[in-house]
Amino acid sequence: MEEIGLFPLPLVLVPGEQAPLHIFEPRYKELVDECLDTAAPFGILLADDDGVREVGTLAEVVEVVERFDDGRLNIVVEGAARFRVARLTDGRSFQTAEVDTVDDEGDEPTDDERARCLAGYDKVIAAAAAELEELDRDAEDLSFRIAARIDLGPEIKQTLLESRSERERVVRLAGLLDRAAEAVAREREVRERASGNGRVEAL
Percent over 70 (pLDDT), the chain: 95
Tell me 17's DSSP state: -
Report the C-alpha gap between 10 and 48 in whole angstroms: 6
Report the C-alpha gap between 98 and 118 in whole angstroms: 37
Using DSSP's 3-state secondary structure scheme, residue 108 falls into coil
Res 202 pLDDT > 70: no
Cβ count near 25 (within 10 Å): 12
Mean pLDDT over each residue of the chain, to the nearest integer: 92
Domains of the chain with bracketed CATH = 2-102 (2.30.130.40), 111-197 (no CATH)
- The reported pLDDT for the residue numbered 196 is 60
Cα 53–Cα 55–Cα 59 angle in degrees, nearest 5 = 110
Task: Give the bridge partners for 22, in sequence order.
Answer: 74
Summarised one tens digit per residue, pLDDT across range 23-34 is 999 999 999 999
pLDDT band of residue 106 (cuts 50, 70, 90) is: confident
Residue 107 CB burial class (10 angstroms; 0-12, 13-18, ≥19): exposed
Nearest to 124 by CA among 187, 186, 188, 185: 185
73-89 and 18-23 beta bridge pairing: antiparallel
